[in-house]
Chain A
Amino acid sequence: MCYHMSSKDEQPTSAPDVTTSPVVVPVTDVPAGVRVHHFDELSEQTQHALATVSHSGRLDIDPTATRLSRGDVVVFTEYFRVQ
């Protein structure tokens, strides 16, 4: 049964420019112009993909179904940049 969990986190402010699944890498510095998301802003699917990410950093998620865009940073157990 599907309730109000939308398949997207929300409309991204810019169209996602990733056509393959996003890859995340840990970063320590965040430049001022970057979009930053807290883990709690992400959909359940994106959260699941981040929580179960393998060493390769590739998220098991449909790139069109996440608000994450290339260059974004996610605050989770570390800061991750989306490649």
Chain B
Amino acid sequence: MSQSYVIVGDGIAGASAAETLREEEPDADITIITDEGEPLYNRILIKEFAKGKLPEAPISIHDESWYDDRDVDLVLNTLVTDIDPDAHTLTAHDGTEYEYDKLLLAIGGTPTQLPVENSDAEGIHHFWTFQDARDIKEHIEQADNSVVIGAGLLGIDLAAITAAQGVEGKYLMRGKAWWRYALSQDGAEIIHNALRERNVEPVFDSGVDHFEMDDDGVVTAAIDPNGDRYPADFVGIAIGLNFNTEILGGTDIEYDTGIYVDEYMRTNHDDIFAAGDITEFHDVILGERAQNGAWGSAKEQGTIAAKNMVDYGSAEFRWVSSYSITHFDFPFLSFGHPTLGDESVEAKYSDTEWRRLAIKDGKIVGGVLIGDLSPQTKYKKLMREQVDVSGQLDTLVKQDFQLEDLEGAAAEQ
């Protein structure tokens, strides 16, 4: 009898798992259920669409024929609300029940709402889906002034969209630097200057106390905790993600912020796996639980999960994740876990060139490169191979660092 596989979520993790499952098991029954109304699209390009730089067509990755051609059942507009691990069944919002032999949860996250007064006013946007991007684009094209909140990798996308659409903006941040957990003031200043050049003004030691709106419920301004008022008819918020763990309630599947999986993407249930942003996976490089929020990692986890659903233990997730910013004329790339570590080393080489490496127990665990990405492969190799670089941190940030510059055991890489 052929196996039946059910995948919840048709993002990059779910879709890459379906592709691998079909390659590995030509006769299996494969179903993908998603609450979105469209099949897999390129989530990391929707910002370019919202900027007005890309048409809709290249954002789509799969059309429905992709699933037909592979004999994969695609179920759109369907929210899974319950899982019964003992009965091996799922229930959807409309009461439909789905049976599975093996289940993959590739359910990602949902943007966190700002818990302040009037945060549901019209004109306030969060950013995760293609539909969000369409709404943002339509609105920003008519907007006069904007406020963006959330000094991280998604917030800067919103700021870049307002800039690309020629809308003057204020970017309200807590603290004194953009992504202050990964960048020092020196590194962040490069980003601040690039934003200012694009008519987006970073506002430090700020945030939002509440929003003002007009009689029609449309946002008119953000008021920060200092009482300063920033008029805006467009507001973008990106303060983090809530992972979609509600459907685990009532089950004994282990999770915290994300679903706990081992390095084979399996949960504490033999027949239930998880992949993508939703996982808190055992990171074999860090030696502890970690969570990634990046396209490449989600795709790889989907592939690895599928292989292990077919043959448990056949493929291990060993991966250095990376995430870049493509909004400026200089490149930016973060890799690994740049906000972790017990020490760090950094160097600035010019007004647009800077590097910082996060070190834990003498090993690289992440970093941020601005302006020159050429050392990426070397740093990632050292991280992947868990090379002890203690005592050689200054060597690591020499501008033209080569692996041969390292001494001792590290030199054998």
Q: Which residues of A contact B (CB under 8 A)?
A: 1, 3-4, 30-36, 38-41, 44-45, 47-48, 51-52, 73, 75-79
Given contacts A76-B331, A77-B330, A79-B53, contact A40 B323 (CB under 8 A): yes
Distance A61 CA – B330 CA, assembled complex (angstroms)? 22
Does the CB pair B328–A77 fall under 8 Å?
yes
**Residue B326 interfacial (CB < 8 Å):** yes
A/B interface sample: 11 pairs, CB < 8 A: A4-B318, A40-B44, A40-B323, A44-B380, A45-B377, A51-B374, A76-B326, A77-B330, A77-B331, A78-B329, A79-B53
Does the CB pair B57–A47 fall under 8 Å?
no
Per-residue A-contact encoding for B38-62, CB less than 8 Å = 1, 0 else = 0000101100100001111111000
Q: How far is the CB of A14 from chain B (nearest CB, A)?
A: 14
**Residue B324 interfacial (CB < 8 Å):** yes
Does the CB pair A30–B53 fall under 8 Å?
yes
Q: Which residues of B contact A52 (CB under 8 A)?
A: 374
Distance A41 CA – B385 CA, assembled complex (angstroms)? 23
Q: Which residues of B contact A36 (CB under 8 A)?
A: 42, 45, 48, 54, 58-59
Q: Which residues of B contact A39 (CB under 8 A)?
A: 324, 326, 331
Q: Which residues of A contact B54 (CB under 8 A)?
A: 30, 36
**Residue B401 interfacial (CB < 8 Å):** no
Q: When the two chains form the complex, which single residue of B55, B296, B300 contacts A40, counting CB atoms closer than 8 Å?
A: B296
Q: Which residues of A contact B119 (CB under 8 A)?
A: none
- Beyond known contacts A36-B42, A36-B58, A36-B59: 13 more, CB 8 A cutoff: A3-B384, A33-B57, A36-B48, A38-B42, A38-B44, A39-B324, A44-B376, A47-B376, A48-B374, A51-B373, A76-B326, A77-B328, A79-B53
Q: Which residues of B contact A48 (CB under 8 A)?
A: 373-374, 376-377
